[in-house]
Structure 1
Amino acid sequence: MKIAIVGANGYSGVELIRLLSQHPHIEIEMLVSHSTSGTAINAIYPHLTGICELELEKAGAEEIAERAELVFFATPAGVSQGLAPQLLDKGITCIDLSGDFRLRQPKAYEQWYKRPFVARETDLEKGVYGLSEINRDAIKSAQLIANPGCYPTATLLGVLPAVQMGLIDLHSIIIDGKSGVSGAGRSAKQGNMYSEINESVKAYKLGAHQHIPEIEQGIEVIAGSETHVTFSTHLMPMTRGIMCTIYAGLKEARSTQQIIEDYKEFYQSDSFVRVRNEGIWPATKEVSGSNYCDIGIFADERVPRLTIVSVIDNLVKGAAGQAIQNMNIICGWDETTGLAQTPIYP
């Protein structure tokens, strides 16, 4: 199948290239980037020499639709909602890694993303939230996938089993999120300079992060009732990785081992979610370069409170890897196709 990547010059775009170059059913037909068109991708990323040396192109919906059957958008917010509807009208499947189609209400998008929503509401209705393990059945027949954000992926995979089993108080959820610097993209920003982030940890966007409504929406779909979470994000001096430590009040005291067994049963058919045994906590290094989400559980019967530690690679399971997993689901291929990489350690 021939695919196109729009926004191929960014970190998520180049991660798509890395993973798709190993996919047995895919041919990368075109790389689209208006800002760097006319430049070979390996001139920007020399590590792709001999792997992918396509030239970045400036192309509209007409040309993309003529050459590709499926399009990945690895673009900043605001880009895909202008181009994806034109491709949908031409029968092209779109997988959007940005936040343009994740929120079900245009007003919520405008409030949290600080930009107008210009796509048609009918296109928004077509979009399926691409949390692979949770929405697999809906993804199978989707033409537009709203790929989840990195923080929501780690958080929702961590907390949704407890929500579905009715274990926790929905109004008690607190999420402590930590991210590597690649999550901010490749653009030069003072706050992402080595001298600013090295040997330092800093909080950012407290109460204002655009992933807050996405996390709440994901919980509410499963719970069937409204919730509000406290979500705090921190920038860590590392390149890759997301760790979300989630705290929630238990409705009744339960043992750690009981809840671990429940989680293992919940994810028993999911190749990319690994639930740790009691007393073993996941680390970001242990999923680096892979599509895994690793989860650790502690139930404090004294309080009682549930603590969930969930880690992913923000560029793989939090972006490109999950997008490819969703493509595999749509195409009826094994979900692990092209994604069976062992994490890089150390």
Structure 2
Amino acid sequence: MATDITLILGALAFGTRIDEAQSFDLLDQYREAGGEWIDTANNYSWWLHPSGFGGQSETVIGRWLDKRPGARGDVRISTKGGAEPTTPNGYPDHVEGLSGPALRTALRGSLERLRTSHVDVYWAHIEDRTVPLEETVATLGGFVADGQVARLGVSNHPLWRVERARNIASDQGLAGYSAIQLRWSYLQPLPGVALPQSGHVHATSETFDYLRSNDDVWLWAYNTLLDGGYTRADRPLPEAYDHPGTARRLAVLDEVAAETGATRNQVVLSWLAGGPLKISPIVGVTTPAQITEALAARHVTLTPDQRARLDTGA
């Protein structure tokens, strides 16, 4: 029996690294297996497309929704605005940002590409300190008020900015952020060592303290499987993970995988999603086998002892 965990389909590669037909097959497979959430962004994937602009992932998802009657009622759509380049390959110096006009244009474009009247979560993708938080909060809250967005999220922001924005929204009687999207996995990078993806913001112990104190906030974890680093020899772990703690945690991971009969990836996903806090892993996939493996993590139940060993890496 599947456990009550939510695995989110990451659609970053749709329409670029994998073509439309392959993307449709993966979306069909995910839907047929009971998958509920699809995560994309208006800038996916500008760095993989000759134009230097994004929108390809949303476009493919929109075409799929059009060709699959009933699919929009089966799946929930999450997309993001704020990080689309305004010039070809212009990220990070030339991006749309989080002003009111930029966000309204971004959401309108996303809805058109997704061929839907609303999205279920809309995220402020990256920080924009050139815009007053009050303006961003008012604009996003307006999207909820007018029915274009069901819920608001924020990714790659420091926690103090999230809390300040939530307080502003509360004071103004507006919907505020109730989801946070950050990088998080079982292995942990050394603090202060740069990640290869400069835009990634990693969850910290403060993040989880915040979640424990705010049960209305949902963490969506991305880069959960470290780009294949747990299982693929051709995908070595980044330098930030080259420290003694990694070897210790991998040893425990292998012990638990052997005990459960699961793969490393499945144990990682079960550990991430099956704990006491509201955490859902995003799983970026490009093959049917990857979806099959990831969704099978719903059948991996960790005992309290296994979870404690994984938690401590000992």
Shorter-chain-normalised TM-score: which range?
0.3 to 0.5
Structure showing the higher helix proportion among its residues = 2
Structure showing the higher strand proportion among its residues = 1
TM-score normalized by structure 2? 0.34
TM-score normalized by structure 1? 0.32
